[in-house]
Amino acid sequence: MADEASTARARELREHLERWNHEYYVLDAPSIPDADYDRALRELAELERSFPELIDPESPTQRVGAPPLDVFESVAHPIPMLSLDNAFSEDELAAFVRRICDRLDVDETPELVAEPKLDGIAVSLIYRDGRLWRAATRGDGTRGEDITLNVRTIRAIPLRLQGDDWPAELEVRGEIFMPRAGFEAFNEQARRAGEKPFVNPRNAAAGSLRQLDSSITAKRPLDFFAYAAGQHPDDGWPASHWEVLERFRGWGLPVSREARRVASLEACETYYREMEARRDGLAFDIDGIVYKVNAFAAQRELGFVARAPRWAIARKFPAQEAMTTLLGVEFQVGRTGAITPVARLKPVFVGGVTVSNATLHNMDEIARLNLHEDDTVVVRRAGDVIPQVVSVIEERRRENAPVVIAPQSCPVCDSPVERVEGEAALRCTGGLVCPAQRKASLRHFAARRAMDIDGLGDKLIEQLVDRGLVRNVADLYHLTQEQLCALERMGEKSAQKLLGAIEKSRQTTLPRFLFALGIREVGEATAVSLANHLGSLEAIAAADEDTLMAIPDVGPVVAAHVWGFFTSAQQEVVAQLREAGVTWPDVERAVDNDGPLKDQTWVVSGRLESCSRDEAEERLRGLGARTAKSVSGKTTVLLAGPGAGSKLAKAESLGVEVIDEAEFLRRVQAGAEG
Ligand code: IVH
């Protein structure tokens, strides 16, 4: 039985977690770091595991999903879920406003509420006694599917309403959607794994909700906004839509902050223009603006036609997807030799701009699309994301059209092309022999966040490489005024300026320098981490993969690339750069390597009771030890909890010392005291 203290602690944790959840998902204003949230959630899960009677179906721990269903049950909506009429122009919106004025027999436009039209999936949420009781899809408007288990995993949707002034039975309607960032990340991961990406965030949201196994839905980044009430008691109910939205907010339901009251056609138009301008910068897709008559009395008077209300209308934005023809596929070579196929398209107006190129990502994507020459394709451009080809209209394919195939050699330098196992990318093997790779690595080197060489733009790099003046980044430091002045569009003044910028870049910092080298998988954050933990370029260049993996954020892939870089011919360029006078101040190392466990390499594996593996590693590093992720001849000690498995076997076969958690705690204690 749970003692009083555990019961009270579980209640306290739940209250905290619910508040933090609300701050994060509904108010968009988190007050604590994610790690603190995770820690509290873990503590609560631990308590519930020890004392199952503490489990509460509304507990924040219950958002991980439930056992899979066989089918979704079909359920009836208490009130039909309607659709909206569309207006595609200002004139059509004006006609809507005129119609409502006529019907209401008024001269002035009644107050309207304008809201973004979210491009997601409509849902009905029924709350009974303030608890989420049932969630259903729209279906055919009369009956939908019961997706309660899936919806319960969405953290933006409260499992319990806040306050106590909600009706005993309340139906909330709104839209579930996948924010763009989550969608892009999900697709990126799917593409890397060779799996099928989603065509757009709306399909991603629909696909995620259609899972019979809610633990899958739980892993998808879904979000929600409430935009109307369905069934509700009339007693004490507000008189306007706006007030309902305010009540929703008070009950902890997320409501779009963009909703506004507007009182004239001009105000509608202004709002529309403003939202259209901001559309690309929003975190999620919207496909228009919904205008709703605010007063319920007026709504009742206006009523419905067929399946849509007369008191609301959707003014659509220009589409973010459009059809066009594929003119060809070009294979572009990047800094690391990765070859990216780019579709050349017949120009088409989509998402507010004219698009004539779209990324095809990699060969797997071309295969998935089953892309043939001259195909009719659907392109999508949303937000500031690069336009993409999302699907092919196979019915429109011309007869005998050849399929698009991968190049056998680099389209720029003709070196053989390789395909690395486990990677979707094709790579040119030419390295710095390949002018495309050379140009791209120069662009990266000169970038603002790398060596910050002002004035070294794309056009200039083209000329420098094509004329053979610069073969690698170190050659930049030997350019002369004369050489520069001989280039197109380069006067004496700009040549001098550029030389000045190159000169200035000689004084840099270690993280910038590391980032500028363009080592694969080493972004700015990793460069900072490497510099802070190893302190000098020499130490980084000398580090083996285990040492590298002991650094936070450095996994086996990054470690292999860093190690590979400094043991390859590329280190020659590093030497040339140093000879050319590129320098930086020393970096103070973040780790205390003079601790009692100095010179020891530890590996932590299996389950621990007193702390997580990460925390154990952190403590070990605090005492001067290095920590690694795999057991090798260099391992000093393996700390093995239950389930250590293959690492334990390896340590035993290599004769590495193996200790359990009790011994670990004893040594850490001794180390800390001594
Ligand atoms: S109100 C009777 N408000 O648009 C009016 N709908 O085309 C019911 N939608 O199925 C809808 N954002 O999925 C309303 N702010 C919003 C909306 C919105 C998106 C969707 C909803 C509905 C569809 C109608």
Distance 229 CA to ligand 1 centre (A): 12
How does pLDDT run across 237-290, given as a tens digit for each residue?
A: 999 999 999 999 999 999 999 999 999 999 999 999 999 989 988 889 999 999
Using the predicted structure, report yes or no on whether residue 595 has a pLDDT greater than 80: no
- With a 6 Å cutoff on the Cβ, whether 302 touches ligand 1 is no
Token pair of 443 as six digits: 């662009």
Residues 592, 624 contacting (CB under 8 angstroms): yes
H/E element holding 530? helix 524-534
Atom 2 in ligand 1: residue holding the nearest Cα: 82
What domains are defined for the chain? Answer: 4-62 (1.10.287.610), 82-316 (3.30.470.30), 321-418 (2.40.50.140), 430-505 (1.10.150.20), 510-579 (1.10.150.20), 601-673 (3.40.50.10190)
CA-121 nearest atom, ligand 1: 13
Cα–Cα–Cα angle for 136, 137, 140, rounded to 5 degrees: 120
Is 290's C-beta closer than 6 angstroms to any atom of ligand 1? Answer: yes
Please say whether the beta carbons of 437 and 428 come within 8 A: yes
The CA angle 131-134-139, to the nearest 5 degrees, is 150
Closest atom, ligand 1, to C-alpha of 82 = 2
Model confidence pLDDT, tens digit, residues 419-441: 877 777 899 999 888 999 999 99
Q: Which of 652, 644, 522, 511 is nearest to 585 (CA)?
A: 511
Q: Which residue among 81, 173, 175, 296 has the greatest number of ligand 1 atoms within 8 angstroms of its CB, and so is best to mutate?
A: 175
Ligand 1 binding pocket includes 516 (Cβ within 6 Å): no
Residues 114-126 have a mean pLDDT of 97
Q: Strand (E) positions, 52-152?
A: 74-76, 86-87, 112-118, 121-128, 131-137, 143-145
How confident is the prediction for the chain on average, in pLDDT? Answer: 91
Residue 114 C-alpha to ligand 1 middle, in angstroms? 12
Instruction: Looking at the CA of residue 116, tell me the nearest atom of ligand 1.
Output: 15
Find out whether the beta carbon of 545 lies less than 6 Å from any atom of ligand 1: no
Q: Is the CB of 477 under 6 A from ligand 1?
A: no
Which residue type does 199 have? V
Instruction: Kindly give the distance from the C-alpha atom of residue 141 to the centroid of ligand 1, in angstroms, as a whole number.
Output: 12
Is the CB–ligand 1 distance for residue 37 below 6 Å?
Answer: no
593 pLDDT tier (thresholds 50, 70, 90): low
pLDDT, mean of residues 294-303: 97
| Res. 652: pLDDT tops 60 | yes
Distance 283 CA to ligand 1 centre (A): 19
Q: How far is the CA of 225 from the centre of ligand 1 (A)?
A: 11
Q: Is 228 in the pocket of ligand 1 (CB under 6 A)?
A: yes
309 C-alpha to ligand 1 centroid (Å) = 11
CA distance 330 to 406: 10
Query: Cα-flanking dihedrals φ and ψ of residue 217, to 5°?
Result: -55, -40
601-614 confidence digits (pLDDT tens)? 899 988 888 888 87
Tokens of 511: 């993280």
For 319-349, the pLDDT digits (tens) are 889 999 999 999 999 998 999 999 999 999 9
Non-local CB neighbours of 591 within 8 Å, separated by 6+ positions: 533, 621, 624
Q: What is the pLDDT of residues 382-394, one digit of tens each?
A: 877 789 999 999 9
Pocket test for ligand 1, best of 79, 81, 83, 244 (most atoms within 8 A of CB): 83
CB 65 within 8 A of CB 213: yes
Is 122 a pocket residue for ligand 1 (Cβ < 6 Å)? yes
Which residue, judged by its Cα, is nearest atom 15 of ligand 1?
117
Residue 669, ligand 1, Cβ within 6 A: no
Cα(519) to ligand 1 centroid in Å equals 48
Q: Is the pLDDT assigned to residue 590 strictly greater than 70?
A: no
Report, as residue numbers or ranges, the catalytic residues. Answer: 117
For ligand 1, the distance from its centroid to the CA atom of residue 121, given in whole angstroms, is: 9
Helix, strand, or coil here: 456? coil
What's the 84 CA to ligand 1 centre distance in angstroms? 7
- What does pTM read for this prediction? 0.70
- Is residue 318 lining ligand 1, measured as CB closer than 6 Å? no
Give the nearest ligand 1 atom to 259 CA.
15
For residues 579 and 423, the model is more confident at 579
pLDDT of residue 195: 82
| Burial class, 293, CB count within 10 angstroms (exposed 0-12 / middle 13-18 / buried 19+) | buried
pLDDT at 541: 93
| Residue 98 pLDDT greater than 60, yes or no | yes
CB 75 within 8 A of CB 146: yes
What's residue 591's pLDDT?
Answer: 55
Does residue 205 have its Cβ closer than 6 Å to ligand 1?
no
Instruction: Establish whether residue 291 lines the binding site of ligand 1, counting it when its CB lies within 6 angstroms of any ligand atom.
Output: no
Nearest protein Cα to ligand 1, atom 12: 117
**How many of the other CB atoms lie within 10 Å of CB of 452?**
16
Cα 374 to ligand 1 centre (Å): 37
Asked whether 638 lines ligand 1 (CB < 6 A), one says: no
* Residue 588 predicted with pLDDT over 80: no
Mutation test residue for ligand 1: of 79, 81, 82, 118, the one with most atoms within 8 Å of CB:
118
* Residue percentage of the chain with pLDDT more than 70: 99
Which pLDDT score is estimated for 674? 61
- Ligand 1 atom at shortest distance from the alpha carbon of 314: 7
Report the residue among 117, 260, 311 best suited for mutation to probe ligand 1: largest number of ligand atoms under 8 A from its CB.
117
Residue range 394-423, pLDDT digits in tens: 999 999 999 999 999 999 999 999 987 777
Question: What is the number of the ligand 1 atom nearest to the C-alpha of 83?
Answer: 24
Q: Of all protein residues, whose CA lies closest to atom 21 belonging to ligand 1?
A: 122
Do 65 and 71 contact (CB within 8 A), yes or no?
no
Q: Looking up tokens 């330098």, which residue turns up?
A: 413
Do 227 and 175 touch, CB atoms closer than 8 A? yes
Is the pLDDT at 592 greater than 70? The verdict is no
> Distance (Å, rounded) from C-alpha 470 to C-alpha 310?
68
DSSP-H helix ranges across 174-240: 180-192, 201-209, 214-217
pLDDT at residue 420, rounded to an integer? 74
- Residue-wise burial string across 518-553, b where 16 or more C-beta atoms lie within 10 A, e elsewhere: bbeebeeebbbbbbbbbbebeebeebebbbbbbbee
- Dist. CA 641–CA 607, nearest whole Å: 5
**pLDDT for position 341:** 95
The CA 592 to ligand 1 mean position distance, Å, reads 58
Cα of 450 from ligand 1 centre, angstroms:
46
Confidence of residue 596 (pLDDT cuts 50, 70, 90): confident
In ligand 1, which atom is closest to the CA atom of 120? 13
Instruction: For 389-446, give the DSSP string.
Output: EEEE-GGGPPTTPPBP---SB-TTT--BEEE-TT---EEETTGGGSHHHHHHHHHHHH
pLDDT for position 104: 96
Please choose from 79, 83, 84, 289 the residue to mutate so as to test ligand 1's pocket, defined by most ligand atoms within 8 A of CB: 84
Residue having the nearest C-alpha atom to atom 16 of ligand 1: 117
The rounded distance, in Å, linking the Cα atoms of 585 and 573 is 20
